[in-house]
């Protein structure tokens, strides 16, 4: 690991055209609620992510993170700022990886949408490739990927009732609702150039487990670029971001959705072409090794993971298709969205490959 690694931080950029915020209104709002936060204000935008928008609001020397829904069409139940804020407020006392939430507002006169502010967790966020001055030895890569599994196990082990989140979701029938729900969402967002996923959907409906092994708080978007690493010891995870899809459900669905992002060194070229994180580094755990480690830590048997992984691939395709729908219909001009249709096609082929090799 190079010395330069400690200086690699996830930094914001200029706000994208069409996604500007009213800095004066934000400053007025913050000053009224938190008069101790004073000084000149600057607003910049974090370029990563495809769903809720994330901004760095700096007032004086205080750095805050603002989260708001995206512009354009969005799923009816998604992008609930009040819900996301409540999850953070409830989890922070029992799960230290959460950011500290500060204030929520549903007053759309401020920035045109509900939003909330939280403290910034400083550190390293891994994107597609490591920066030029950053490197992991195979042992360090393995340690980091092991820690990724361990933090997920810690989240799934939380007593959500004691945390006051028992009404966050309903574990009964969760798998069925997810398969049927994402099938409908995919159909609603399908564009003329998108694959049908009909064979995949039929297989998922046929192979659904009868019930969840145990209900848990699930993050639903657990991956490297939603974690913050310690800048002085980057194998250590210090934060977990983007809680907009958190709910109560089957923890193996969370693991399957997480591993849908995990592209290995030996995966087919088309899958490697849509890799978004450095999961292919020498030493990183394979998907199979992560499932085994997860089962060992949690003391449970996992013998039907093909279903969960295949669902994760389908769900990821659904998310990408929903975002691409906005671009296809001119509801966003973000150029990152243009090529998502290629990823949707690759994910269908990856799903079919899992189905073809599965013994379920």
For residue 70, give its domain range.
Answer: 3-119
On whether both 345 and 225 belong to a single domain, the answer is yes
- Residue 233, CA distances (Å) to 2, 160, 322 in order: 11, 30, 37
What integer pLDDT is reported at residue 79 of this predicted model?
Answer: 62
Residue 83 included in any domain: yes
Distance CA 208, CA 220 (A): 18
Asked if 314 and 184 sit in the same domain, the reply is yes
Is the same domain home to 186 and 221?
yes
**Considering Cα of 5, then 7, then 10, then 16, what sign does the dihedral take?**
negative
The domain boundary, picked from 60, 86, 119, lies at 119
CATH code of the domain covering residue 26? 3.30.200.20
**Per-residue pLDDT of the chain in tens (360 residues, 90 and over written 9):** 443 343 355 789 999 988 999 999 999 999 999 899 999 999 999 887 667 899 999 999 999 999 998 876 454 445 689 999 999 999 999 999 999 999 999 999 999 999 999 999 999 999 999 988 899 999 999 999 999 999 999 999 999 999 999 999 999 999 999 999 999 999 999 999 999 999 999 999 999 997 766 899 999 999 999 999 999 999 999 999 989 899 999 999 999 999 999 999 999 999 999 999 999 999 999 999 999 999 999 999 998 999 999 999 999 999 999 999 999 999 888 888 999 999 999 999 999 999 999 999
Predicted local distance difference test score (pLDDT) of residue 51: 73
* 132 found inside a domain: no
pTM: 0.90
Exposure b/e, 333-346, CB count within 10 A at least 16 = b? ebeebeebbebbbb
C-alpha 92/C-alpha 172 separation (Å) is 26
**CA gap 71, 85 in Å, rounded:** 19
Evaluate whether 349 touches 355 at the Cβ level (below 8 Å).
no
């Amino acid at each position: 690991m190079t010395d330069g690694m400690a200086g690699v931080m996830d930094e914001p950029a200029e706000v994208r055209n069409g996604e500007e915020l009213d800095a004066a209104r934000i400053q007025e709002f913050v000053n009224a609620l938190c008069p101790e936060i004073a000084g000149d204000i600057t607003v910049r935008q974090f370029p990563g992510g495809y769903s809720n928008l994330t901004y760095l609001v700096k007032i004086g020397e205080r750095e805050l993170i603002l989260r708001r829904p995206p512009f354009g069409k969005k799923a009816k139940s998604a992008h609930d700022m009040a819900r996301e804020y409540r999850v953070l407020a409830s989890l922070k006392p029992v799960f230290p990886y959460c950011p500290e939430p500060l204030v929520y507002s549903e007053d759309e006169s401020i920035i045109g949408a509900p939003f909330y502010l939280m403290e910034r967790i400083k550190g390293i966020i891994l994107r597609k490739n490591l920066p030029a001055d950053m490197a992991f030895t195979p042992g360090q890569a393995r340690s980091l990927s092991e820690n990724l599994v361990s933090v997920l196990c810690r989240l799934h082990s939380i007593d959500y009732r004691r945390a006051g989140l028992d009404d966050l979701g309903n574990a009964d029938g969760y798998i069925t609702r997810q398969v049927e729900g994402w099938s409908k969402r995919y159909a609603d967002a399908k564009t003329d150039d998108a694959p049908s996923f009909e064979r995949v959907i039929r297989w998922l409906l046929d192979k659904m487990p009868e019930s969840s092994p145990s209900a848990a708080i699930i993050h639903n978007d657990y991956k490297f670029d939603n974690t913050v690493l310690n800048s002085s010891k980057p194998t250590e995870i210090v934060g977990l971001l983007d809680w907009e899809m958190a709910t109560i459900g089957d923890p193996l669905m969370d693991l399957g959705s997480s591993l849908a992002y995990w592209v290995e060194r030996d995966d087919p070229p088309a899958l490697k072409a849509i890799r978004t994180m450095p999961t292919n580094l020498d030493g990183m755990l394979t998907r199979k090794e992560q499932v085994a480690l997860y089962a060992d830590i949690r003391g449970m048997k996992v013998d039907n993971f093909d279903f969960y992984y295949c669902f994760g691939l389908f769900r990821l395709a659904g998310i990408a298709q929903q975002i691409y729908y906005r671009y296809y219909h001119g509801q966003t001009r973000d150029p990152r969205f243009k090529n998502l249709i290629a990823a949707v096609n690759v994910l269908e082929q990856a799903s079919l490959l899992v189905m073809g090799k599965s013994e379920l």
